[in-house]
Structure 1
Amino acid sequence: MSGFRRTQVLVIGGGQAGLAAGYHLRRTGLDFAILDAAQAPGGAWQHYWDTLRLFSPAAYSSLPGRPMPAQPGHDAPDAAHVAAYLAEYEKRYELPVHRPVQVRTVVDAGDGGLLATTDDGTWHARALISATGSWTRPFLPAVPGREVFGGRQLHTTGYRDATEFAGQRVVVVGGGNSGAQIAADLAGHAAEVRWVTRRPARLLPDEIDGRALFEIATRRVNDGGPRISDLGDIVATAPVRAARVAGLLADHHMFDHLDADGPVWTAGERWPCGTVIWCTGFRPALGPLAGLGLRDADGRIPTDGTRAGADPRVHLLGYGDWTGPASATLIGVGRTARAAVTELAELLG
């Protein structure tokens, strides 16, 4: 495909957010293209650990237009089922996904449009939807001693299966869903697991699943109400509940630093281990947009809904509540994708 191509709307990212945008763009009749850096369809779901399961049944985890089929034998689908669903989704709607294409820079073209330089040619577009997610930008905190620890360190992105840690002592760092789920996954395999968090872990009530989270987030934006963080931080999935009931999921306060053998707390307590797994989150993968000058003095990109405050041609989709309520979820991204595409259709006439 290398060379120079034009389109009305360029979508960067072929995961769930990019596909939801493509669905609504197809219905407008606008010319568009989706550039995806991955080798295969499925978005970040193809890289998650093997035992990961959704917070909700398939019926409440669907992109617009195509309900996710249930996974036989499971109330909540696993990551591989979601990846297969996304692959089928883009095929079903004949979405123009080009992969693997890595977008390097996006700049103003000087003629009212935008110019995207990739590793496979250049695209000119009148508008852009950034849907790159965050999986490619794992965050590692600046914990002293990380460079001297003699064991293995990996981020959530590198975790696939608990069996490879059999017989080991493992520290899991992070008080969110990934930390709780991976700690619970390891509890039945590793010799010992210590789960450490910066503040006491708070599990949401057992009845709150992905659908409820979406409804709470939507109500919060529309007419106020409680924030999800007021209720808790961690969805009590079945494996997390089982590990908690079995007494295998007690959280410990964050250590002060690492030495060659493992974590060290301020009071001098040590816990030698072979592996530290950093479940410490991600940052939005917005590097290609740097040349557009969208960030404010604090380094953030202000948005009005999904629209970048500094440039109405650019929309950001699927990065979390700052780009739409629950927009980083399967059930939530469809609504914000529709809003973004509606605005772009009006802008482009």
Structure 2
Amino acid sequence: MILVTGGLGFIGSHTVQALVDMGEECVLVQRSKTEPPAYLAGAKVAVEQADITDLPTLLDVGERHEVTGIVHLAGSMPWPPDPDRPVEATRKALGGLLNVMQAARDWGVRRVGVASTIGVYSGLTDQGALHEDMPLPMTSFHPIPAFKKIGELLGGHLADATGVEVVNYRISATWGPRDPHGALFFAAPELVHAAARGTEPDLSALPAPAHAEDSIDLCYVKDTARAIALLQLADRLNHRTYNVASGRATSNAEVIAAIRKAVPDARIGLPTGGSGPRTHLDITRLQRDTGFRPAYDVERAAADYITWLRAGNER
């Protein structure tokens, strides 16, 4: 049985579905009391309400379920920031990751997968493919990639110290059903939502104005989830860190064109221009060790996402 922290979240719920599709049973650990999405109804899934920062409660889950692997997708960072208690928030965030590793050791778990992010590459000036073995800048533009870098280093230390295999997932920009973020870092989710509801997109939350030629490695959430499931279930992995991505750069112009195939009258135009290098995550390592290939190009992804939203789902 695979334990998935954050298993009812955006990427987590799709990862559970992918694991179930591959024949696994899952136990989902979620801090808040939340009902599983409809697409998990009837699946071999148990839901436990537990805060990973509470070690006794987390360890108690292992008393009721035979956990053989862990996919740690719950956020181990102080987000959103707590300006009044920054030290306590940091201690609690990192404590959650340490508790997951403690549980893995106590339960005799073979492999723990830990979510990292494409954001760890921020600051590199390279064009083209970004590889897992590239030296990363010590600085960070945002708390999330800062704590993901810390998590990767801690995970490496704990893997060596405990003998538990730790695998880092450097997850690219992910979009699709149940995305709670909207236009937080990139435009695609809000462009789809605007097309589905027949309005103009609100991109005011982006860190910079969006342009048609802006690009990022954009991966549909169902592909992201399947890649994570494959990494968890592989008999053997040859590396500690894997890019989880589409393996190509997708521009806003391509997203807009794909959306307009499904919604021809969508009011989602963006000004021409763009900034920054055109980069993507190299997924050669992921492909060689798991056989992963993206199933959703941008057109199929946009159509699937719009269908989901138009079926009455809010996000």
**TM class, shorter-chain normalised?**
under 0.3
| TM-score for the superposition, normalised by structure 2 | 0.26
Structure with the bigger percentage of helix: 2
Of structures 1 and 2, the one scoring higher in RCO (CA 8 A, sep 6+) is 1
| TM-score for the superposition, normalised by structure 1 | 0.24
Larger radius of gyration: 1
